[in-house]
Structure 1
Amino acid sequence: MLEVMNLTKKYGKTIAVDNVGFAVPDGRIGILLGPNGAGKSTVIKSIAGLLKYKGTIRIQGLNSRTMEAKRCFAYVPEMPYMYDALTVREHIEFITRAYGVECTEEELKMLFDRFELTDKQEKLGSELSKGMMQKVSICCALVIKPKVILLDEPMVGLDPAAIRELKTVILDLREKGCTILISTHMLEMVRDLWDATFVMDGGHILGTYVKENVANEDLEELFFSVTGQKASEERAAVQRGEESDTVSAEVEGDGR
Protein backbone atom coordinates (compact mmCIF):
# COMPACT_ATOMS: atom_id res chain seq x y z
CA MET A 1 0.00 0.00 0.00
CA LEU A 2 1.07 3.54 -0.73
CA GLU A 3 -0.10 6.42 1.47
CA VAL A 4 0.62 10.10 0.88
CA MET A 5 -0.51 12.52 3.61
CA ASN A 6 -0.30 16.32 3.72
CA LEU A 7 2.52 16.42 1.18
CA THR A 8 3.81 19.94 0.57
CA LYS A 9 6.83 20.93 -1.47
CA LYS A 10 8.17 24.43 -2.10
CA TYR A 11 10.88 25.64 -4.48
CA GLY A 12 11.91 28.87 -2.85
CA LYS A 13 8.65 30.80 -2.42
CA THR A 14 6.85 28.80 -5.11
CA ILE A 15 4.53 26.07 -3.85
CA ALA A 16 4.76 23.15 -6.30
CA VAL A 17 2.59 20.76 -4.27
CA ASP A 18 0.17 21.95 -1.61
CA ASN A 19 -1.14 19.58 1.09
CA VAL A 20 -1.64 16.64 -1.26
CA GLY A 21 -3.02 13.37 0.06
CA PHE A 22 -4.15 10.06 -1.45
CA ALA A 23 -3.75 6.31 -0.99
CA VAL A 24 -3.41 3.31 -3.31
CA PRO A 25 -4.15 -0.10 -1.71
CA ASP A 26 -2.40 -3.37 -2.49
CA GLY A 27 -3.38 -4.89 -5.80
CA ARG A 28 -4.68 -1.63 -7.23
CA ILE A 29 -3.57 0.74 -9.98
CA GLY A 30 -3.65 4.42 -9.13
CA ILE A 31 -3.30 7.10 -11.80
CA LEU A 32 -1.94 10.53 -10.92
CA LEU A 33 -3.43 12.46 -13.80
CA GLY A 34 -2.85 16.05 -14.77
CA PRO A 35 -1.45 18.45 -17.36
CA ASN A 36 2.23 19.30 -17.59
CA GLY A 37 3.27 21.42 -14.64
CA ALA A 38 0.48 20.15 -12.38
CA GLY A 39 2.96 18.89 -9.77
CA LYS A 40 2.78 15.19 -10.61
CA SER A 41 6.52 14.62 -10.98
CA THR A 42 7.17 16.49 -7.75
CA VAL A 43 4.85 14.08 -5.94
CA ILE A 44 6.52 11.07 -7.57
CA LYS A 45 10.04 12.30 -6.79
CA SER A 46 9.02 13.00 -3.20
CA ILE A 47 7.74 9.44 -2.84
CA ALA A 48 10.96 8.14 -4.38
CA GLY A 49 13.02 10.09 -1.85
CA LEU A 50 14.63 12.40 -4.38
CA LEU A 51 13.24 15.60 -2.86
CA LYS A 52 12.88 17.06 0.61
CA TYR A 53 9.27 17.75 1.54
CA LYS A 54 6.84 18.31 4.38
CA GLY A 55 4.25 15.65 5.14
CA THR A 56 4.16 11.88 5.51
CA ILE A 57 4.64 9.12 2.93
CA ARG A 58 4.25 5.45 3.84
CA ILE A 59 5.13 2.41 1.73
CA GLN A 60 3.63 -0.83 3.05
CA GLY A 61 3.07 0.96 6.34
CA LEU A 62 6.71 2.04 6.58
CA ASN A 63 8.08 5.58 6.43
CA SER A 64 9.27 5.99 2.83
CA ARG A 65 12.62 7.32 4.04
CA THR A 66 13.58 4.04 5.73
CA MET A 67 15.73 1.39 4.08
CA GLU A 68 13.04 -1.22 4.72
CA ALA A 69 10.58 0.81 2.64
CA LYS A 70 13.10 1.48 -0.12
CA ARG A 71 13.80 -2.24 -0.51
CA CYS A 72 10.20 -3.04 -1.43
CA PHE A 73 9.49 -0.36 -4.02
CA ALA A 74 10.76 0.52 -7.46
CA TYR A 75 10.77 3.74 -9.45
CA VAL A 76 10.72 4.26 -13.21
CA PRO A 77 11.56 7.93 -13.88
CA GLU A 78 10.30 9.96 -16.82
CA MET A 79 13.87 10.47 -18.04
CA PRO A 80 15.80 7.21 -17.63
CA TYR A 81 19.47 7.34 -16.70
CA MET A 82 21.94 4.72 -17.84
CA TYR A 83 25.60 4.24 -16.89
CA ASP A 84 27.56 4.79 -20.10
CA ALA A 85 30.13 2.05 -19.40
CA LEU A 86 27.67 -0.68 -18.30
CA THR A 87 25.95 -3.04 -20.70
CA VAL A 88 22.21 -3.68 -20.55
CA ARG A 89 22.82 -6.98 -18.77
CA GLU A 90 25.24 -5.35 -16.31
CA HIS A 91 22.59 -2.77 -15.39
CA ILE A 92 20.27 -5.59 -14.32
CA GLU A 93 23.08 -7.34 -12.41
CA PHE A 94 23.96 -4.07 -10.67
CA ILE A 95 20.36 -3.60 -9.48
CA THR A 96 20.02 -7.19 -8.22
CA ARG A 97 23.23 -6.83 -6.21
CA ALA A 98 22.25 -3.42 -4.84
CA TYR A 99 18.86 -4.72 -3.66
CA GLY A 100 20.18 -8.13 -2.61
CA VAL A 101 17.66 -10.02 -4.76
CA GLU A 102 18.10 -13.08 -6.94
CA CYS A 103 17.14 -13.31 -10.60
CA THR A 104 17.49 -16.64 -12.36
CA GLU A 105 18.72 -16.88 -15.91
CA GLU A 106 15.24 -18.01 -16.93
CA GLU A 107 13.61 -14.97 -15.29
CA LEU A 108 16.14 -12.66 -16.92
CA LYS A 109 15.55 -14.22 -20.33
CA MET A 110 11.79 -13.82 -19.94
CA LEU A 111 12.24 -10.17 -18.98
CA PHE A 112 14.51 -9.43 -21.94
CA ASP A 113 12.20 -11.27 -24.31
CA ARG A 114 9.16 -9.30 -23.14
CA PHE A 115 10.81 -5.98 -23.95
CA GLU A 116 12.79 -7.11 -27.00
CA LEU A 117 16.16 -6.63 -25.33
CA THR A 118 17.58 -10.12 -25.88
CA ASP A 119 19.86 -9.01 -28.72
CA LYS A 120 20.73 -5.77 -26.89
CA GLN A 121 22.22 -7.34 -23.75
CA GLU A 122 25.80 -6.39 -24.59
CA LYS A 123 25.06 -2.85 -25.74
CA LEU A 124 26.49 -0.10 -23.56
CA GLY A 125 24.29 2.47 -21.91
CA SER A 126 25.85 5.15 -24.11
CA GLU A 127 24.68 3.27 -27.21
CA LEU A 128 21.00 3.09 -26.31
CA SER A 129 18.16 5.17 -27.74
CA LYS A 130 15.65 6.89 -25.44
CA GLY A 131 13.16 4.08 -26.02
CA MET A 132 15.72 1.38 -25.25
CA MET A 133 16.83 3.21 -22.11
CA GLN A 134 13.20 3.33 -21.01
CA LYS A 135 12.87 -0.43 -21.51
CA VAL A 136 16.01 -1.10 -19.47
CA SER A 137 14.76 1.21 -16.73
CA ILE A 138 11.48 -0.73 -16.59
CA CYS A 139 13.36 -4.04 -16.42
CA CYS A 140 15.54 -2.72 -13.59
CA ALA A 141 12.38 -1.86 -11.66
CA LEU A 142 10.70 -5.20 -12.31
CA VAL A 143 13.70 -7.38 -11.48
CA ILE A 144 13.48 -6.55 -7.75
CA LYS A 145 9.86 -7.85 -7.64
CA PRO A 146 8.55 -4.71 -5.93
CA LYS A 147 5.52 -4.49 -3.67
CA VAL A 148 5.03 -0.86 -4.72
CA ILE A 149 6.08 0.57 -8.10
CA LEU A 150 6.00 4.17 -9.29
CA LEU A 151 6.04 4.99 -12.98
CA ASP A 152 6.43 8.58 -14.17
CA GLU A 153 5.18 8.97 -17.77
CA PRO A 154 6.35 5.40 -18.47
CA MET A 155 4.97 5.13 -22.00
CA VAL A 156 6.62 8.23 -23.44
CA GLY A 157 9.23 7.14 -25.99
CA LEU A 158 8.09 3.51 -26.17
CA ASP A 159 7.05 1.88 -29.43
CA PRO A 160 3.49 0.44 -29.73
CA ALA A 161 4.63 -3.13 -29.02
CA ALA A 162 6.46 -2.07 -25.86
CA ILE A 163 3.46 -0.02 -24.69
CA ARG A 164 1.20 -3.04 -25.11
CA GLU A 165 3.67 -5.24 -23.23
CA LEU A 166 4.06 -2.72 -20.43
CA LYS A 167 0.29 -2.59 -19.98
CA THR A 168 0.24 -6.39 -19.74
CA VAL A 169 3.04 -6.28 -17.15
CA ILE A 170 1.17 -3.68 -15.09
CA LEU A 171 -1.99 -5.80 -15.07
CA ASP A 172 0.09 -8.86 -14.11
CA LEU A 173 1.61 -6.92 -11.20
CA ARG A 174 -1.86 -5.94 -10.02
CA GLU A 175 -2.93 -9.60 -10.05
CA LYS A 176 0.07 -10.40 -7.83
CA GLY A 177 -1.01 -7.79 -5.28
CA CYS A 178 1.50 -5.09 -6.21
CA THR A 179 0.58 -1.44 -5.63
CA ILE A 180 1.05 0.63 -8.79
CA LEU A 181 1.06 4.41 -9.18
CA ILE A 182 1.36 5.87 -12.67
CA SER A 183 1.90 9.58 -13.22
CA THR A 184 0.83 10.80 -16.66
CA HIS A 185 -0.93 13.42 -18.75
CA MET A 186 -1.69 10.91 -21.52
CA LEU A 187 -5.27 9.84 -20.84
CA GLU A 188 -5.47 7.44 -23.76
CA MET A 189 -2.56 5.39 -22.43
CA VAL A 190 -4.21 4.57 -19.10
CA ARG A 191 -7.87 4.50 -20.09
CA ASP A 192 -8.07 0.71 -19.65
CA LEU A 193 -5.74 0.40 -16.66
CA TRP A 194 -6.98 2.47 -13.74
CA ASP A 195 -8.67 1.46 -10.49
CA ALA A 196 -8.42 4.90 -8.90
CA THR A 197 -7.59 8.25 -10.46
CA PHE A 198 -6.33 11.38 -8.73
CA VAL A 199 -6.78 14.44 -10.92
CA MET A 200 -4.13 17.03 -10.17
CA ASP A 201 -3.57 20.60 -11.27
CA GLY A 202 -1.88 23.64 -9.80
CA GLY A 203 -0.26 21.57 -7.06
CA HIS A 204 -3.59 20.28 -5.70
CA ILE A 205 -5.69 17.13 -6.01
CA LEU A 206 -8.89 18.44 -7.61
CA GLY A 207 -10.79 15.16 -7.78
CA THR A 208 -10.46 11.54 -6.66
CA TYR A 209 -12.35 8.80 -8.50
CA VAL A 210 -12.66 5.08 -7.80
CA LYS A 211 -13.64 3.14 -10.90
CA GLU A 212 -16.37 1.14 -9.17
CA ASN A 213 -18.06 4.35 -8.01
CA VAL A 214 -18.28 6.23 -11.31
CA ALA A 215 -20.26 3.66 -13.29
CA ASN A 216 -19.41 3.92 -16.99
CA GLU A 217 -18.10 7.49 -16.98
CA ASP A 218 -15.15 7.98 -19.31
CA LEU A 219 -11.81 8.93 -17.78
CA GLU A 220 -11.46 11.82 -20.21
CA GLU A 221 -14.86 13.21 -19.21
CA LEU A 222 -13.97 12.98 -15.53
CA PHE A 223 -10.66 14.73 -16.12
CA PHE A 224 -12.07 17.65 -18.09
CA SER A 225 -15.08 18.03 -15.81
CA VAL A 226 -12.66 18.85 -13.00
CA THR A 227 -9.88 20.72 -14.79
CA GLY A 228 -12.39 22.57 -17.01
CA GLN A 229 -14.31 23.74 -13.98
CA LYS A 230 -11.10 24.94 -12.35
CA ALA A 231 -10.15 26.87 -15.49
CA SER A 232 -13.60 28.48 -15.61
CA GLU A 233 -13.32 29.51 -11.96
CA GLU A 234 -9.88 31.00 -12.55
CA ARG A 235 -11.14 32.96 -15.55
CA ALA A 236 -14.08 34.21 -13.50
CA ALA A 237 -11.75 35.26 -10.70
CA VAL A 238 -9.56 37.16 -13.16
CA GLN A 239 -12.60 38.86 -14.63
CA ARG A 240 -13.84 39.82 -11.17
CA GLY A 241 -10.42 41.19 -10.39
CA GLU A 242 -10.39 43.23 -13.61
CA GLU A 243 -13.87 44.54 -12.87
CA SER A 244 -12.80 45.48 -9.34
CA ASP A 245 -9.75 47.32 -10.68
CA THR A 246 -11.95 49.18 -13.17
CA VAL A 247 -14.40 50.23 -10.47
CA SER A 248 -11.55 51.36 -8.21
CA ALA A 249 -10.06 53.42 -11.03
CA GLU A 250 -13.43 55.03 -11.72
CA VAL A 251 -13.89 55.89 -8.03
CA GLU A 252 -10.38 57.33 -7.82
CA GLY A 253 -11.08 59.33 -10.98
CA ASP A 254 -14.28 60.75 -9.47
CA GLY A 255 -12.37 61.68 -6.33
CA ARG A 256 -9.86 63.64 -8.36
Structure 2
Amino acid sequence: MLTVSNLIKRYGKQNAVNDISFHLEGGEVVGLLGPNGAGKSTTMKCIVGLLRKTSGEIIIGGHDHLSVEAKRFFSYIPETPYVYDLLTVREHLQFIAQAYGIKDWKSRGEELMEIYDLTDKADKLGRDLSKGMRQKISICCALLPDPQLLFFDEPMIGLDPKAIKNTKKIFKELKEAGKTILVSTHLIDSVETIADRIMILKNGDIIGNDTLSNLKQQFIQDEQGSLEDIFLELTKDE
Protein backbone atom coordinates (compact mmCIF):
# COMPACT_ATOMS: atom_id res chain seq x y z
CA MET A 1 0.00 0.00 0.00
CA LEU A 2 2.86 2.41 0.83
CA THR A 3 6.56 2.04 0.03
CA VAL A 4 9.10 4.69 1.05
CA SER A 5 12.59 4.13 -0.34
CA ASN A 6 15.70 6.12 0.67
CA LEU A 7 13.73 9.25 1.59
CA ILE A 8 15.89 12.28 2.33
CA LYS A 9 14.59 15.74 3.19
CA ARG A 10 17.26 18.39 3.58
CA TYR A 11 16.97 22.00 4.73
CA GLY A 12 20.16 23.77 3.68
CA LYS A 13 22.97 21.54 4.93
CA GLN A 14 20.85 19.92 7.62
CA ASN A 15 18.95 16.67 7.05
CA ALA A 16 15.50 16.53 8.66
CA VAL A 17 15.04 12.97 7.36
CA ASN A 18 18.08 10.72 6.82
CA ASP A 19 17.71 8.23 3.99
CA ILE A 20 14.87 6.22 5.54
CA SER A 21 12.98 3.30 3.99
CA PHE A 22 9.87 1.47 5.18
CA HIS A 23 6.79 -0.31 3.89
CA LEU A 24 3.14 -0.42 4.96
CA GLU A 25 1.02 -3.44 4.10
CA GLY A 26 -2.68 -3.28 3.37
CA GLY A 27 -4.76 -3.48 6.56
CA GLU A 28 -1.84 -2.54 8.81
CA VAL A 29 -1.84 0.09 11.56
CA VAL A 30 1.57 1.63 12.24
CA GLY A 31 2.29 4.06 15.04
CA LEU A 32 4.95 6.66 14.20
CA LEU A 33 6.59 7.91 17.39
CA GLY A 34 9.48 10.20 18.18
CA PRO A 35 10.51 13.23 20.26
CA ASN A 36 10.01 16.78 19.00
CA GLY A 37 12.12 17.43 15.93
CA ALA A 38 12.55 13.73 15.12
CA GLY A 39 11.19 14.15 11.58
CA LYS A 40 7.71 12.63 12.00
CA SER A 41 5.69 15.45 10.46
CA THR A 42 8.34 16.09 7.81
CA THR A 43 8.19 12.43 6.75
CA MET A 44 4.41 12.48 6.58
CA LYS A 45 4.30 15.77 4.65
CA CYS A 46 6.80 14.43 2.12
CA ILE A 47 4.66 11.31 1.64
CA VAL A 48 1.44 13.26 1.00
CA GLY A 49 3.19 15.84 -1.18
CA LEU A 50 3.02 18.92 1.04
CA LEU A 51 6.82 19.06 1.20
CA ARG A 52 9.12 18.38 -1.74
CA LYS A 53 11.50 15.55 -0.89
CA THR A 54 15.21 16.07 -1.55
CA SER A 55 15.58 12.53 -2.89
CA GLY A 56 14.08 9.07 -2.66
CA GLU A 57 10.99 7.31 -3.97
CA ILE A 58 7.48 7.14 -2.52
CA ILE A 59 4.88 4.77 -4.00
CA ILE A 60 1.23 4.68 -2.90
CA GLY A 61 -1.02 1.92 -4.20
CA GLY A 62 1.43 1.21 -7.00
CA HIS A 63 1.56 4.86 -8.14
CA ASP A 64 3.97 7.73 -7.59
CA HIS A 65 2.82 9.62 -4.50
CA LEU A 66 2.28 12.89 -6.42
CA SER A 67 -0.01 11.34 -9.04
CA VAL A 68 -3.78 11.80 -9.06
CA GLU A 69 -4.15 8.01 -8.89
CA ALA A 70 -2.17 7.91 -5.62
CA LYS A 71 -4.13 10.79 -4.12
CA ARG A 72 -7.37 8.84 -4.60
CA PHE A 73 -6.02 6.19 -2.23
CA PHE A 74 -5.42 8.30 0.85
CA SER A 75 -6.64 10.96 3.24
CA TYR A 76 -4.42 13.17 5.42
CA ILE A 77 -5.28 14.74 8.77
CA PRO A 78 -2.66 17.42 9.51
CA GLU A 79 -1.41 18.45 12.94
CA THR A 80 -2.73 21.96 12.36
CA PRO A 81 -6.28 21.74 10.98
CA TYR A 82 -7.09 23.92 7.98
CA VAL A 83 -10.67 24.97 7.30
CA TYR A 84 -12.29 27.40 4.89
CA ASP A 85 -13.38 30.54 6.72
CA LEU A 86 -16.55 31.06 4.68
CA LEU A 87 -17.77 27.47 4.45
CA THR A 88 -20.04 26.00 7.09
CA VAL A 89 -19.30 22.65 8.73
CA ARG A 90 -21.79 20.88 6.45
CA GLU A 91 -20.44 22.69 3.38
CA HIS A 92 -16.95 21.36 4.15
CA LEU A 93 -18.33 17.84 3.86
CA GLN A 94 -20.25 18.75 0.71
CA PHE A 95 -17.07 20.19 -0.81
CA ILE A 96 -15.12 16.99 -0.10
CA ALA A 97 -17.98 14.87 -1.48
CA GLN A 98 -17.99 16.86 -4.73
CA ALA A 99 -14.18 16.79 -4.99
CA TYR A 100 -14.13 13.00 -4.65
CA GLY A 101 -17.28 12.41 -6.69
CA ILE A 102 -19.22 10.90 -3.76
CA LYS A 103 -22.94 10.96 -4.61
CA ASP A 104 -24.66 9.51 -1.53
CA TRP A 105 -22.66 11.31 1.12
CA LYS A 106 -25.27 13.00 3.29
CA SER A 107 -26.14 10.10 5.60
CA ARG A 108 -22.45 9.34 6.23
CA GLY A 109 -21.78 13.06 6.69
CA GLU A 110 -24.56 13.34 9.28
CA GLU A 111 -23.21 10.25 11.06
CA LEU A 112 -19.71 11.72 11.27
CA MET A 113 -21.01 15.06 12.53
CA GLU A 114 -22.99 13.25 15.21
CA ILE A 115 -19.96 11.22 16.31
CA TYR A 116 -17.96 14.42 16.79
CA ASP A 117 -20.78 16.53 18.27
CA LEU A 118 -20.89 18.83 15.24
CA THR A 119 -24.56 18.44 14.39
CA ASP A 120 -25.58 21.60 16.23
CA LYS A 121 -22.62 23.41 14.60
CA ALA A 122 -23.48 22.27 11.06
CA ASP A 123 -24.33 25.79 9.87
CA LYS A 124 -21.47 27.55 11.65
CA LEU A 125 -18.74 29.12 9.53
CA GLY A 126 -15.20 27.80 9.68
CA ARG A 127 -13.82 31.13 10.86
CA ASP A 128 -15.99 30.97 13.99
CA LEU A 129 -14.82 27.54 15.16
CA SER A 130 -12.33 26.66 17.89
CA LYS A 131 -9.17 24.66 17.12
CA GLY A 132 -10.80 21.55 18.54
CA MET A 133 -13.85 21.95 16.30
CA ARG A 134 -11.59 22.52 13.29
CA GLN A 135 -9.73 19.33 14.11
CA LYS A 136 -13.04 17.46 14.24
CA ILE A 137 -14.00 18.79 10.80
CA SER A 138 -10.59 17.78 9.46
CA ILE A 139 -11.11 14.20 10.68
CA CYS A 140 -14.68 14.05 9.33
CA CYS A 141 -13.56 15.29 5.91
CA ALA A 142 -10.77 12.72 5.81
CA LEU A 143 -13.10 9.84 6.69
CA LEU A 144 -15.91 10.79 4.30
CA PRO A 145 -14.29 9.41 1.07
CA ASP A 146 -13.63 6.04 2.81
CA PRO A 147 -9.95 5.94 1.73
CA GLN A 148 -7.79 2.81 1.79
CA LEU A 149 -4.85 4.62 3.40
CA LEU A 150 -5.02 7.26 6.13
CA PHE A 151 -2.30 9.51 7.52
CA PHE A 152 -3.00 10.98 10.96
CA ASP A 153 -0.50 13.59 12.20
CA GLU A 154 -1.15 14.20 15.91
CA PRO A 155 -4.91 13.59 15.50
CA MET A 156 -5.71 14.01 19.21
CA ILE A 157 -4.29 17.53 19.59
CA GLY A 158 -7.05 19.92 20.66
CA LEU A 159 -9.73 17.24 21.01
CA ASP A 160 -11.85 16.88 24.14
CA PRO A 161 -11.89 13.54 26.04
CA LYS A 162 -15.08 12.31 24.34
CA ALA A 163 -13.68 13.06 20.86
CA ILE A 164 -10.40 11.30 21.76
CA LYS A 165 -12.35 8.22 22.87
CA ASN A 166 -14.40 8.26 19.65
CA THR A 167 -11.25 8.69 17.52
CA LYS A 168 -9.64 5.65 19.18
CA LYS A 169 -12.85 3.71 18.44
CA ILE A 170 -12.71 4.83 14.79
CA PHE A 171 -9.09 3.64 14.57
CA LYS A 172 -10.23 0.18 15.65
CA GLU A 173 -13.13 0.19 13.18
CA LEU A 174 -10.84 1.25 10.33
CA LYS A 175 -8.40 -1.49 11.24
CA GLU A 176 -11.19 -4.09 11.29
CA ALA A 177 -12.31 -2.82 7.88
CA GLY A 178 -8.83 -3.53 6.48
CA LYS A 179 -7.71 0.07 6.10
CA THR A 180 -4.03 1.01 6.34
CA ILE A 181 -3.19 3.69 8.89
CA LEU A 182 -0.02 5.61 9.71
CA VAL A 183 -0.55 7.66 12.86
CA SER A 184 2.01 10.04 14.31
CA THR A 185 1.38 10.97 17.92
CA HIS A 186 2.87 11.92 21.28
CA LEU A 187 -0.02 10.19 23.05
CA ILE A 188 1.57 6.76 23.20
CA ASP A 189 -1.39 5.00 24.80
CA SER A 190 -3.59 6.00 21.86
CA VAL A 191 -1.69 3.64 19.52
CA GLU A 192 -0.36 1.01 21.92
CA THR A 193 -3.54 -1.07 21.87
CA ILE A 194 -4.28 -0.93 18.12
CA ALA A 195 -0.93 -0.68 16.31
CA ASP A 196 0.34 -3.77 14.51
CA ARG A 197 3.76 -2.20 14.34
CA ILE A 198 5.62 0.68 15.96
CA MET A 199 8.12 2.86 14.11
CA ILE A 200 10.29 5.18 16.19
CA LEU A 201 12.18 8.14 14.71
CA LYS A 202 15.03 10.05 16.31
CA ASN A 203 17.03 12.82 14.61
CA GLY A 204 15.65 11.81 11.22
CA ASP A 205 16.58 8.12 11.55
CA ILE A 206 14.39 5.07 12.11
CA ILE A 207 15.78 3.54 15.32
CA GLY A 208 13.01 0.99 15.89
CA ASN A 209 10.52 -0.65 13.51
CA ASP A 210 8.78 -3.82 14.69
CA THR A 211 5.83 -5.25 16.58
CA LEU A 212 5.41 -4.16 20.19
CA SER A 213 6.30 -7.63 21.53
CA ASN A 214 9.46 -7.81 19.42
CA LEU A 215 10.53 -4.32 20.49
CA LYS A 216 10.09 -5.36 24.13
CA GLN A 217 12.37 -8.35 23.62
CA GLN A 218 14.98 -6.30 21.76
CA PHE A 219 15.24 -3.24 23.95
CA ILE A 220 13.86 -3.76 27.46
CA GLN A 221 13.76 -7.55 27.94
CA ASP A 222 10.52 -7.18 29.89
CA GLU A 223 7.22 -8.58 28.64
CA GLN A 224 5.43 -6.47 31.27
CA GLY A 225 7.02 -3.29 29.97
CA SER A 226 5.00 -0.70 28.09
CA LEU A 227 5.41 1.11 24.81
CA GLU A 228 6.31 4.19 26.84
CA ASP A 229 9.22 2.26 28.41
CA ILE A 230 10.49 1.28 24.95
CA PHE A 231 10.09 4.83 23.65
CA LEU A 232 12.01 6.36 26.56
CA GLU A 233 14.77 3.74 26.30
CA LEU A 234 15.26 4.24 22.56
CA THR A 235 15.09 8.04 22.55
CA LYS A 236 17.15 8.77 25.65
CA ASP A 237 20.29 10.88 25.18
CA GLU A 238 23.51 8.91 25.04
Q: TM-score range by the shorter chain?
A: over 0.9
CA–CA separation in structure 1 for the residues paired with 2:80 and 2:63: 27
Aligned to 1:111: 112
- Over 3 Å off, 4+ runs: 211-217
Give the aligned CA root-mean-square deviation in angstroms.
1.3
CA–CA separation in structure 1 for the residues paired with 2:103 and 2:32: 31
CA–CA separation in structure 1 for the residues paired with 2:227 and 2:8: 26
- Higher helix proportion (structure 1 or 2): 1
CA contact (8 A) 1:103 1:143 kept: no
**For each residue in 1:79-121, what CA deviation from the matched residue of structure 2 results, as whole angstroms up to 9, or x when unmatched?**
0011110000111111111122234322122111111111111
Aligned to 1:218: 226
Aligned to 2:31: 31
Task: Name the stretch that deviates more: 215-224 or 114-123.
Answer: 215-224
Amino acid at match of 1:128: L
Where 2:85 maps in the other structure, the secondary structure is: coil
Aligned to 2:57: 56
Q: Does 1:184 align with 2:202?
A: no
Q: Does 1:72 align with 2:80?
A: no
Q: Which runs of 5+ in 1 are unaligned?
A: 233-256
CA–CA separation in structure 1 for the residues paired with 2:212 and 2:204: 23
Aligned to 2:46: 46
CA contact (8 A) 2:6 2:20 kept: yes
Change (3 A) 1:25 1:223: same
CA–CA separation in structure 2 for the residues paired with 1:168 and 1:103: 24
Alignment of 1:221-236 (within 5 A): 221-228=229-236, 231-232=237-238
Amino acid at match of 2:226: D
Aligned to 1:125: 126
CA contact (8 A) 2:215 2:230 kept: no
Structure 1 length-normalised TM: 0.86
Structure 2 length-normalised TM: 0.92
Aligned to 1:3: 3
Q: Which runs of 5+ in 2 are unaligned?
A: 217-222
CA contact (8 A) 1:3 1:22 kept: yes
Question: In the comparison of the two structures, how many residue pairs are matched?
Answer: 230
Amino acid at match of 2:192: R
